[in-house]
Each structure stands twice: as structure tokens, then as C-alpha cells.
Amino acid sequence: MEFINQYWPLLIPLILIQLGLMAYCLIDLSRQEHVKGPKWMWALLIIFGELIGSVVYLIAGREE
């Protein structure tokens, strides 16, 4: 418990960055006409893949 209390101030910005990136990716996914693969798969990857899922979507999921 002491570990969490000690590092909590450092974790808050990382959590906010992760949630912001996830929100950006989900909004971008909803606005894209075409993506590589089904949209539901990308949505699940973004939500459950946390930071890595969002980065993978931005790199490989969008068709431009």
C-alpha cells in the first residue's frame, strides 16, 4: 500500500495520457470510412489493449 501512495502522483499523468489517447483513437475510428479489418475488432483492441492497442491502431489500422 505504501508503494501506491508513494508513486500515485507519478501515475496520474500517465493514466490521463492513456485515457486521452484511447478517446482520440475511438473517436478517430468512428469517423473513418475504411479501416484495415472490422471496426469492432479495432475498438476492442483499443479498449482492452490499453496503450499498446491505441498505438497499434494508429500505426496499422487506419487506411489513408
> What does the DSSP 8-state code read for residue 62?
B
CA distance 31 to 25: 10
pLDDT reported for residue 19: 95
Each domain of the chain, given as residue ranges in start order, spans: 30-64
The pLDDT tens digits of the residues spanning 29-53 come to 999 988 998 999 999 999 999 889 9
CA distance 16 to 51: 11
CA distance 54 to 50: 7
On whether the pTM is more than 0.85, the answer is: no
With a pLDDT cut of 90, the percent of the chain lying above it is: 59
